[in-house]
Amino acid sequence: MTTKQSRTGHLIGYKRVSTKDQDAQLQADALSEAGCSKVFEDKLSGKNTERPGLLAALEYMREGDTLCVWKLDRLGRSTKDVLTLAEKLHNRGIALRILTGTLAGSYSPKGEGKFFFTMMVAFAELERDMIVERTRAGLEAAKAQGRTLGRPSVINEDVIAAAKARKAKGESVTAIAKALGVSRATLYRHLTD
């Protein structure tokens, strides 16, 4: 599985991370090891329908090439999106290769392969939905136990007291926020509580 080319064309890689802060190095290493001759990248959520890196990869690819991804979820977030893309690839004579995960392998969306591919994509989407549901349930349980969620507040009682004293002297909220090193929105929220 680490050949430099597929039988009739080139391996073209696609990597995607959800935010600009995330690093795609793990994906890049896997695509390089798989033998991808060219790799395209997006740094945005899979929920975005416009993915310039993926569009460029699709435009670049020719019949006989193989689109190679680290994991299926790098292609899209929904079963419909991934299946539509896989169908487009197949219609152009382009294969799809997934390097890791439960769906690792090469897929052609026709006949029995289409059924298997559809079922596995549906299971991947179900798994992601279950993770979201478990995360939500965990957050609700933590909240019910009185645990504070999210980032710690930058405002404490001393900051609020200082802000109120400055406000009483006629200073603007913008000036107070700047002096105390907090955002105006945060300051307004705490002054109105």
* Residues annotated catalytic, as ranges: 18
Q: What is the DSSP string of 34-68?
A: HT-SEEEEEES-TT-S--HHHHHHHHH--TT-EEE
In the 8-state DSSP scheme, what is residue 6? -
As a whole number of angstroms, the distance between CA 104 and CA 111 comes to: 19
Q: Residue 25 corresponds to which amino acid?
A: Q
Cα–Cα distances (Å) from 176 to 153, 164, 165, 166, 183, in that order, read 17, 9, 10, 7, 9
